[in-house]
């Protein structure tokens, strides 16, 4: 794909008399790239009426003229509510957690000369990437899991070798206030990270504390059932994850409901090295959604990658589970199909209290139009058009603008609609996915928020930079971390040689 894109870009740029880099940074470069995805993602013997990958009947709608002249084919004015974003502060985790500084160091390559590369993920860069260099309107800030740095761990003989959240609950609150203060409007809302398998009573106290103080403004509880905790060992004595159907999971849900926050953001499916594969399966979502109808279960990553493994290869190839339609007779479904099965097995209709979030799901399938159509089509058909929520996993995945633009151009073809019963991905449904669905879940007024955002400092800065450097200036900034498989393998070998965990 890369070779084909570069070749076509070279041909078009020569014809136009401009530099190839300049061409690729323009909307013409996006058009050529999506056209190549259309060509390579479809049957080579069927040009679909557009042998060059352009046309209105392709998975990515690319007007033919868009490949040779600037256009607005990927522009839009939607309310975009990204409910999975990340930033990392300078808290105790940098000293007390032996894993995250090394892991995040792989991605900490933002082109800046900084004292600490981990500052590439700080609040300034977060604000720049999310609200100046992209069309994102609002965002939910989300944390990553880690053991709590408490004296209790020392008392029980378990020294905290890897404790401390890379963005603590207090850190999420500070980031929210920093961004909203700069914007003079509500651009960020925060969740509270809860790890029921790491001293349940302490975690429940954290939940109660955040509600007792109204300044926390908690909108959801975030949990990682597949994260292994040595304070919740298996009968064999090994660190393990948990299911929401376990007693500790149910206590977590019931406490959240008692405290008046019904939103539970649950990581499921996306393989993370070291995560418990068994508890990464979303099979517990159906039972708890049925048992707690007043709760909203927001399945982060939509279960993509379920049933693959827990190594680096699985983590970076999660989209391969989405090449097939849902089969109700499959006893061991993988990926999104595993989420669909648990929903159907417990008689939950589309539009129930189960929501599918697209962070690191859309970015994993968008380079394969077959997988992309299956994944989005299945979620719309079985989970419901009102229950698919936008998320990108930025800023770890870099600027979210390319994900936004590719989804704007995406559709489910009539062929896939006829073969698999998927609904058409209309502009109205896209608007729901981009933000209107999440606005209902998080009780946000999109019209009021948008009006205030347009007059904010961030908006004024964005307009000024658009005028000076162009709206596609984000294309000139390098992505975080390694940009090729070769670079990633080199870094992996270096860490292996150092004996680095994970």
DSSP codes of every residue in 429-456: HHHIIIIIHHHHHTT--HHHHHHHHHTS
pLDDT, position 81: 98
Domain identity same for 105 and 215: yes
Q: Quick check: is 210 in a domain?
A: yes
pLDDT, position 485: 79
Domain identity same for 3 and 125: no
Residue 199's DSSP bridge partners are none
Q: Quick check: is 395 in a domain?
A: yes
- Angle of CA points 299, 354, 374, to nearest 5°: 70
End position of a domain, from candidates 57, 73, 89: 73
Top pLDDT among 431 and 499 is at: 431
Q: Quick check: is 346 in a domain?
A: yes
pLDDT, position 479: 65
Strands 296-300, 354-357: pairing kind: parallel
Domain identity same for 244 and 357: yes
Predicted confidence band at 491 (pLDDT cuts at 50, 70, 90)? confident
Domain identity same for 392 and 286: yes
pLDDT, position 44: 40
Q: What percent of the chain has pLDDT over 70?
A: 87
C-alpha span between 150 and 254 (Å, rounded)? 25
What's the mean pLDDT in 297-320? 86
C-alpha span between 376 and 389 (Å, rounded)? 11
pLDDT at 48 over 60: no
Q: Quick check: is 501 in a domain?
A: no
Q: Which residue has the tokens 């960020």?
A: 188
Q: What is the pLDDT of residues 71-89, one digit of tens each?
A: 999 999 999 999 999 999 8
Burial 331-342 (b: 16+ CB within 10 A, else e): eebbbbbbbbbb
126 close to 82: Cβ distance less than 8 angstroms: no
Domain identity same for 191 and 216: yes
- Please state which of the ranges 215-224, 317-326, 406-415, 481-490 shows the lowest mean pLDDT: 481-490
Q: At 95, list the tokens.
A: 């000293």
Q: Quick check: is 469 in a domain?
A: no
End position of a domain, from candidates 433, 454, 475: 454
Domain identity same for 397 and 294: yes
326 close to 333: Cβ distance less than 8 angstroms: yes
Q: At 434, list the tokens.
A: 């981009």
**How far out from the chain centre does Cα 37 lie?**
21
Q: Quick check: is 128 in a domain?
A: yes
Q: What are residue 403's phi and psi, to 5 degrees?
A: -65, -40
What's the mean pLDDT in 196-203? 95
To the nearest 10°, report the CA torsion of 302, 306, 311, 312.
-40
Domain identity same for 199 and 90: yes
318: CB partners within 8 A, 6+ apart: 269, 270, 271, 301, 304, 305, 308, 335, 360, 361, 364
395 close to 360: Cβ distance less than 8 angstroms: no
Domain identity same for 17 and 96: no
C-alpha span between 426 and 414 (Å, rounded)? 12
Q: At 137, list the tokens.
A: 């309107």
What's the mean pLDDT in 43-66? 76
Burial 153-169 (b: 16+ CB within 10 A, else e): beeeeeebebbbbbbbb
Domain that holds residue 288: 81-454
End position of a domain, from candidates 421, 438, 454: 454
| Sign (positive or negative) of CA dihedral 485, 125, 468, 83 | positive
Q: Quick check: is 481 in a domain?
A: no
> What string of DSSP letters covers 266-310?
EE-SS--TTS-TGGGSGGGHHHHHHH-TTSEEEEEGGGTTTTS-S
The per-residue pLDDT of the chain, averaged, comes to 88
Domain identity same for 156 and 240: yes
Q: What percent of the chain has pLDDT over 90?
A: 66
Domain total of the chain: 2
Top pLDDT among 39 and 318 is at: 39
| Sign (positive or negative) of CA dihedral 423, 429, 433, 438 | negative
Q: What is the pLDDT of residues 225-247, one digit of tens each?
A: 999 998 899 999 899 999 999 99
Domain identity same for 222 and 152: yes
pLDDT, position 83: 98
Domain identity same for 61 and 115: no
Q: What is the pLDDT of residues 128-172, one digit of tens each?
A: 899 988 999 999 999 999 888 766 655 445 555 678 888 999 999
Domain identity same for 37 and 166: no
C-alpha span between 392 and 186 (Å, rounded)? 19
**265 secondary structure, DSSP code:** E
What's the mean pLDDT in 279-298? 98
289 close to 346: Cβ distance less than 8 angstroms: yes
- Tell me, what CATH number does 93's domain have? 3.20.20.140
pLDDT, position 339: 98
Q: At 436, list the tokens.
A: 């209107």
Predicted confidence band at 47 (pLDDT cuts at 50, 70, 90)? very low
319 close to 304: Cβ distance less than 8 angstroms: yes
Q: Which has the closest alpha carbon to 140: 439, 478, 467, 501? A: 439
97: CB partners within 8 A, 6+ apart: 146, 162, 163, 164, 166
Q: Quick check: is 478 in a domain?
A: no
Burial 418-444 (b: 16+ CB within 10 A, else e): eebebeebeeebbbbbbbbbbbebbeb
Predicted confidence band at 368 (pLDDT cuts at 50, 70, 90)? very high
To the nearest 10°, report the CA torsion of 367, 371, 375, 376.
60
C-alpha span between 157 and 352 (Å, rounded)? 44
């Amino acid at each position: 794909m890369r070779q084909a894109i570069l070749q076509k870009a070279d041909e078009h740029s020569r014809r136009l008399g401009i530099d190839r880099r300049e061409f690729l940074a323009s909307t013409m470069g996006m058009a050529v790239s999506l056209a190549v995805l259309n060509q390579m993602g479809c049957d080579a013997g069927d040009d679909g009426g557009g042998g060059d990958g352009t046309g209105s009947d392709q998975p990515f709608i690319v007007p033919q003229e868009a490949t040779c002249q600037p256009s607005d084919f990927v522009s839009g004015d939607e309310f975009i509510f990204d409910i999975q974003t990340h930033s990392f502060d300078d808290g105790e985790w940098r000293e007390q957690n032996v894993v995250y500084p090394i892991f995040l160091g792989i991605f900490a390559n933002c082109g800046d000369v900084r004292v600490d590369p981990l500052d590439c993920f700080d609040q300034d860069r977060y604000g720049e990437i999310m609200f100046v260099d992209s069309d994102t309107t609002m965002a939910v800030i989300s944390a990553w899991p880690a053991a709590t740095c408490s004296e209790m761990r020392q008392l029980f003989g378990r020294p905290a070798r890897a404790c401390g959240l890379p963005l603590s609950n207090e850190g999420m609150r500070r980031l929210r206030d920093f961004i909203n203060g700069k914007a003079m409007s509500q651009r960020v809302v925060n969740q509270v990270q809860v790890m029921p398998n790491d001293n349940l009573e302490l975690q429940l106290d954290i939940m109660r504390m955040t509600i007792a103080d109204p300044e926390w403004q908690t909108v959801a509880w975030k949990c990682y059932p597949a994260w292994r905790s040595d304070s919740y060992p298996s009968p064999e004595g090994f660190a393990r994850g948990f299911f929401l159907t376990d007693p500790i999971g149910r206590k977590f849900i019931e406490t959240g409901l008692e405290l008046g926050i019904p939103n539970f953001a649950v990581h499921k499916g996306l393989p993370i090295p070291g995560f418990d594969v068994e508890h990464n399966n979303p099979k517990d979502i159906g039972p708890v959604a049925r048992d707690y109808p007043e709760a909203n279960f927001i399945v982060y990553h939509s279960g993509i990658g379920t049933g693959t493994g827990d190594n680096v290869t699985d983590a970076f190839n999660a989209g391969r589970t989405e090449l097939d339609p849902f089969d109700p007779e499959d006893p061991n479904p993988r990926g999104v199909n595993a989420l669909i099965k648990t929903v159907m097995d417990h008689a939950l209709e589309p539009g129930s209290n189960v929501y599918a979030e697209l962070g690191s799901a859309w970015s994993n399938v968008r380079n394969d139009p077959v997988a992309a159509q299956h994944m989005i089509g299945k979620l719309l058909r079985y989970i419901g058009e009102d229950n698919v929520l936008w998320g990108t996993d930025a800023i770890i995945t870099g600027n979210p603008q390319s994900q936004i633009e590719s989804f704007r151009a995406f559709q489910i073809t009539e062929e896939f609609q006829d073969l698999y019963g998927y609904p058409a991905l209309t502009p109205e449904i896209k608007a729901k996915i981009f933000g209107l669905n999440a606005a209902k879940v998080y009780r946000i007024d999109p019209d009021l928020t948008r009006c205030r955002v347009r007059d904010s400092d961030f908006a004024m800065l964005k307009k000024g930079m658009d005028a000076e450097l162009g709206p596609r200036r984000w294309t000139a900034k390098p992505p975080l971390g390694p940009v090729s498989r070769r670079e990633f393998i080199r870094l992996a070998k270096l860490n292996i040689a150092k004996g680095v965990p994970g």
